[in-house]
């Protein structure tokens, strides 16, 4: 330790409830996890004609993922899938062929929505994509957080006790998961 965790938010909206939740999760993380955002809002659209000459933003994304010991995705669900912005970032990260930055990278997935099933379908899509990208997925806890106004306050605190305890637990499990994967799965 410390283990470096890259936090990727699937929404680029400044008012994003998923970014709010991500900040709260970072605050609840065990001390051994050093969490930093990896931003995806400046990436151009993925274009395989550029595989031989990756744009700077995409090279930075790949470097940030390489340097992370694990990735935490916190993402909304768009039309029962993941936002195109997030898929775009994953496509950049996974290429050029043979240089997939996501391979063997331990991953946790969280999402929040005002809706009742709270990103469950979108997360299932994300799991399918990341499984194909050979990223070990934490499955022992799933986090589908229904968002109501004020759930996370302006100081990044979760205001509902049971939700705060659950999310603390989630980050504790994620810490254990990252350690186990790094012990068992060669990272090169
Ligand atoms: C949504 N929203 C949404 N919610 C949901 O639970 N399931 C869905 O399939 C969708 N689909 C969807 C599509 C598009 C294009 C938008 C803009 C929104 C609502 C969504 O959960 C809500 O806008 C959240 O606030 C989005 O998350 P962020 O951006 O606030 O983090």
How many domains are there within the chain? Answer: 1
Mean pLDDT of 28-55: 98
**pLDDT of 19 strictly over 90:** yes
**pLDDT of 188 strictly over 90:** no
Residue of 8, 78, 121 best suited for mutating to test ligand 1, as the one with most atoms within 8 Å of CB:
78
Q: What is the pLDDT of residue 187?
A: 82
Decide whether any atom of ligand 1 lies within 6 Å of the 84 Cβ: no
Query: Which tokens hold the place of 105?
Result: 């990278």
Residue 76 CA: nearest ligand 1 atom is 27
3-state secondary structure of 90: helix
Decide whether any atom of ligand 1 lies within 6 Å of the 146 Cβ: no
Average pLDDT over the chain, rounded to whole?
97
| Distance between Cα 11 and ligand 1 center (Å) | 9
Give the CATH number, domain containing residue 34: 3.40.50.360
**pLDDT of 43 strictly over 80:** yes
pTM for this predicted structure: 0.98
pLDDT tens-place string over residues 149-169: 999 999 999 999 999 999 999
pLDDT tens-place string over residues 84-119: 999 999 999 999 999 999 999 999 999 999 999 999
Q: What is the pLDDT of residue 91?
A: 98
Nearest CA-CA partner of 148 in 110, 114, 111: 114
| Distance between Cα 113 and ligand 1 center (Å) | 6
Domain that holds residue 76: 3-184
Phi and psi at residue 171, to the nearest 5°: -70, -30
> How many other CB atoms are there within 10 angstroms of residue 111's CB atom?
27
ipTM of the complex as predicted:
0.99
Query: Which tokens hold the place of 123?
Result: 């997360």
Decide whether any atom of ligand 1 lies within 6 Å of the 151 Cβ: no
Helices (H), the chain: 17-28, 56-67, 84-94, 120-132, 161-184
pLDDT tens-place string over residues 56-88: 999 999 999 999 999 999 999 999 999 999 999
Q: What is the pLDDT of residue 42?
A: 98
């Amino acid at each position: 330790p410390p283990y470096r965790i890259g936090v990727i938010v699937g929404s680029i909206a400044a008012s994003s409830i998923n970014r709010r939740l991500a900040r709260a999760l970072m605050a609840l993380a065990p001390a051994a996890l050093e969490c930093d955002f990896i931003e995806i809002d400046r990436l151009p659209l993925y274009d395989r004609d550029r595989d031989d000459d990756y744009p700077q933003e995409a090279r930075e994304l790949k470097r940030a993922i390489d340097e992370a010991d694990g990735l935490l995705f916190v993402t909304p669900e768009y039309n029962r899938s993941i936002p195109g912005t997030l898929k775009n970032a994953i496509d950049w990260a996974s290429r050029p062929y043979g240089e997939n930055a996501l391979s063997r990278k331990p991953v946790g997935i969280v999402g929040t929505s005002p809706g009742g099933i709270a990103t469950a379908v979108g997360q299932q899509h994300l799991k399918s994509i990341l499984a194909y990208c050979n990223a070990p997925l934490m499955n022992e806890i799933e986090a589908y957080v229904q968002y109501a106004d004020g759930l996370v306050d302006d100081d990044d605190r979760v205001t509902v006790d049971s939700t705060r305890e659950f999310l603390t637990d989630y980050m504790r499990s994620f810490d254990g998961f990252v350690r186990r994967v790094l012990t068992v799965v060669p990272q090169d």
